[in-house]
Amino acid sequence: MHIKSVKLINFRNYKGIKVFLNSNLNIFLGENGEGKTNLLESLYIASSGKSFRTNKDKELINLNKNEAYVGVELVKEDTIKTIEIKLDNNKPKRIKINGIEQDKISDIFGVLQAVIFSPEDLKIVKEGPYHRRNFLDIEITQIKPIYKSILNDYSRVLAQRNNLLKVIPYDDKKRKLLFVWNKQLIELGTKIMIFRNSFVNRLIPISKEIHKSITKGEEVLDISYISSLNINKMDKNTIIKNFEKILLENENNDIEKGSTSIGPHKDDLEIKINDKDVRMFGSQGQKRTTVLSLKLAEIELIKQETEEYPILLLDDVFSELDINRRRYLVSRFKDIQTIITSNDDINTPHMDKIDKKTYYIKDGDILYSK
Ligand SMILES: Nc1ncnc2c1ncn2[C@@H]1O[C@H](COP(=O)(O)OP(=O)(O)OP(=O)(O)O)[C@@H](O)[C@H]1O
């Protein structure tokens, strides 16, 4: 799978461009604030229906306009597919796939798979559990689009249960309504935990192998899924029974706090290098390499699942990698369409054999270089 072209109208600082991409490596160079990340953002939106840096669609529309358009042509299984997104300051966004308007934004999942690695992703290894759950959720959705609707339902049920918990201290009769939300919370939460556990179990050997290669065997990466129910070797029925039991045991505590203390919304990932927690003990370089290993492992998982490589978007991270890591990445480029943005020219001798195109971005305009 590869993107053939991208057309942007009034998208952030792009007034109107159409750029044809190379099926292998694409390097977009430009000074700060010229529109490099905006371009990657538009491709990411074509893949997931939403931005990786804002939840507010209005921010994506050029400040002086009311509407914006993102159109992507891709080649998949030797046929051309199109994805079009129309953003409007006064209406919800609309999506067309192959010219047909879709009812739901989630219909976009699975058409174009993309894995992005941006400086923001360092949060996965630097900050709190939310970022690791978010990583899991984004990546699982790419492989199993149904997962997204289960997540949305779970969030809705969790919010309803928490609302009820806050009311019970003032109206104890409402306590008996908890079982309605508990049942749904357990059902949806169990599905989420099973998805996450199976994803992590598949991610572990691949990321371990990649990390070992990148670091020339010097570092051993270990990842484990941390769930409040410790589900690892449990079957579905046992998870349900345990979830029910612990939810009941914590009921008074939950009412006191006005929030639900167990469930997949508390999950985390433990990430270690050479037996030490990366978050606490990892150097900046080790953290960056860990995220790179996770992202490259995700690419392999998507390939296993869909039989096609996703596209790889590297936002301003290539120049931060040392020569070994760059060399390793370049060795992977030959099978994957990659789009790199950078301030500096990142051409290195290893790139000579790679089929590539370089572009310059200047104030929302794109110039081909070679
Ligand atoms: N809705 C919008 N309308 C018009 N311009 C916008 C909008 N949103 C962002 N911009 C402009 O886009 C530019 C930022 O683009 P982008 O984030 O892609 O920069 P970049 O080239 O990746 O820079 P850096 O190298 O600093 O990361 C800024 O000049 C900003 O003012």
The per-residue pLDDT for range 53-109, each reduced to its tens digit, is 999 999 999 999 999 999 999 998 889 999 999 999 999 999 999 999 999 888 898
| Residue 84: C-alpha distances to residues 52, 87, 111, 171, 232 (Å) | 18, 10, 12, 50, 41
Q: What is residue 365's three-state secondary structure?
A: strand
36 marked as part of a ligand binding site: yes
Pocket test of ligand 1: the residue of 15, 29, 36 to mutate, having most ligand atoms within 8 Å of its CB, is 36
- Chain-centroid distance, C-alpha 54: 13
Cβ atoms 72, 83 nearer than 8 A: yes
Q: Is residue 264 in contact with ligand 1, taking CB distance under 6 Å?
A: no
Q: Is the CB of 364 under 6 A from ligand 1?
A: no
Strands 365-368 and 79-88, bridge-based pairing: unpaired
User: By alpha-carbon position, which residue is closest to atom 15 of ligand 1?
Assistant: 35
3.40.1160.10, 3.30.2350.10, 3.40.50.300, 3.40.1280.10: CATH of 1-113+308-370: 3.40.50.300
Q: Decide whether any atom of ligand 1 lies within 6 Å of the 36 Cβ.
A: yes
Q: Can you give the pTM of this predicted structure?
A: 0.91
pLDDT tens by residue, 301-340: 999 998 899 999 999 888 788 888 888 888 887 889 999 9
pLDDT tens digits in sequence order for the chain, 370 residues long: 999 999 999 999 999 999 999 999 999 999 999 999 999 999 999 999 999 999 999 999 999 999 999 999 999 888 999 999 999 999 999 999 999 999 988 889 889 999 999 999 999 999 999 999 999 999 999 889 899 999 999 999 999 999 999 999 999 999 999 999 999 999 999 999 999 999 999 999 999 999 999 999 999 999 999 998 878 778 899 999 999 999 999 999 999 999 999 999 999 999 999 999 999 999 988 999 999 999 999 999 999 998 899 999 999 888 788 888 888 888 887 889 999 999 987 777 778 888 899 999 999 999 986 5
* Alpha-carbon span 259 to 272, nearest angstrom: 30
Domain range annotation of the chain:
1-113+308-370, 120-306
Q: Which CATH class is domain 120-306?
A: mainly alpha
Tell me if 16 CB under 6 Å of ligand 1: no
Atom 17 of ligand 1 has which residue's CA nearest to it? 37
ipTM passes above 0.95? yes
Side-chain half-sphere CA neighbours of 272 within 13 A: 10
